[in-house]
Amino acid sequence: MVEQIKERMLHDLKELFIEILGEDFDHEDITPETSLIYDLGLESLEFIAVLDAIHQRYGVLLQIAQEDGEVDSRFLDKLTVGFLIEQLPLTLKKTS
């Protein structure tokens, strides 16, 4: 059951990436291990758009910055699709 929910979340996130990055975006190879920064090449505004879309769609605000507003560069390696999935509650249902 948990794996099915995670698969649905992965599918939903792929749709979200298409909405933000456009129809030409190659989403077929996205896995939980896919890095948002290094593999998808998200620029800062695109990354913010992804976080905002997650907030709008799921009502979850993901905190990725430190108290001073800076993002720890070591944290960038952890910004994967799987990280996003893990941050969303497993009981979460898509609201849109």
Q: Is residue 74 part of a domain?
A: yes
In the predicted structure, residue 32 carries a pLDDT above the cut 90:
yes
Spatial distance between the Cα atoms of 40 and 27, rounded to a whole number of angstroms: 9
CATH number assigned to the domain comprising residue 37: 1.10.1200.10
Q: How confident is the model at residue 74 (pLDDT cuts 50, 70, 90)?
A: low
What is the number of domains present in the chain?
Answer: 1
Domain that holds residue 42: 2-87
- What are the φ/ψ torsions at residue 35 (nearest 5 degrees)? -80, 135
Q: Is residue 31 part of a domain?
A: yes
Q: What is the pTM of this model?
A: 0.77
Q: Is residue 14 part of a domain?
A: yes
Q: Is residue 93 part of a domain?
A: no
The DSSP secondary-structure symbol of 35 reads: B
* Between residues 70 and 12, the one the model is more confident about: 12
